[in-house]
């Protein structure tokens, strides 16, 4: 793994993580722009580490993205995916070929369920369309 300044690579991270943001001339989902702004605030002007987990069927990188105050010490890591779930600005992907980061699927689902209970972010919407439903509808 190598250190990557977030400001020089952030646009690539957004394209991988934020499927609900507006792109390619298509409108985004509700909270898509807010999610992008929040992710920027988490990573901007910080040393960001990206660890490849695997490539998906389309050759895209599936990676864990984190910042840390103390290099190489796991318990000081702040994982972007977990922070996005806690804020209610992301959802756990449950489709085929899903790969889960170091916290594991159950921990991610717990973070999502807590955000749902508290009606944070996307979970505040009454009739919410999942990212998968949105993608299917706008293809």
Q: Which domain holds residue 123?
A: 3-138
Beta bridge partners of 5: 47
Which candidate, 56, 77, 81, 58, places its Cα nearest to that of 68? 77
Residue 10 pLDDT > 80:
no
Q: Look up the CATH number of the domain holding residue 81.
A: 2.40.50.90
The model's pLDDT over 63-112, given as tens digits with 9 standing for 90+, comes to 888 898 776 677 788 999 999 999 999 888 888 778 888 788 999 999 99
75: which 2 tokens?
A: 């318990």
Please compute, for residue 21, the number of CA atoms within 13 A of its CA located in the half-sphere on the CB side. 18
pLDDT on residue 20: 65
Report the number of distinct structural domains present in the chain.
1
Residue 35 has pLDDT above 50, yes or no: yes
What is the average pLDDT across 15-34? 67
Give the whole-angstrom CA distance, residue 62 versus residue 6.
17
CA distance 31 to 90: 9
């Amino acid at each position: 793994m190598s250190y990557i300044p977030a400001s020089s690579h952030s646009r690539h991270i957004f394209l991988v993580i934020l499927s609900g943001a507006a792109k390619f001339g298509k409108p985004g989902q509700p909270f898509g722009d807010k999610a992008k702004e929040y992710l920027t605030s988490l990573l901007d002007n910080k040393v960001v580490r990206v660890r490849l987990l695997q490539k998906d069927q389309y050759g895209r990188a599936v990676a864990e993205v984190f910042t840390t105050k103390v290099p190489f010490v796991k318990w000081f890591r702040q994982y972007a995916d977990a922070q996005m779930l806690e804020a209610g600005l992301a959802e756990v992907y449950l489709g085929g070929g899903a790969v889960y980061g170091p916290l594991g699927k159950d921990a991610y689902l717990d973070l999502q369920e807590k955000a749902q209970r508290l009606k944070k972010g996307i979970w505040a919407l009454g009739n919410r369309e999942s990212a998968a439903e949105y993608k299917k509808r706008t293809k």
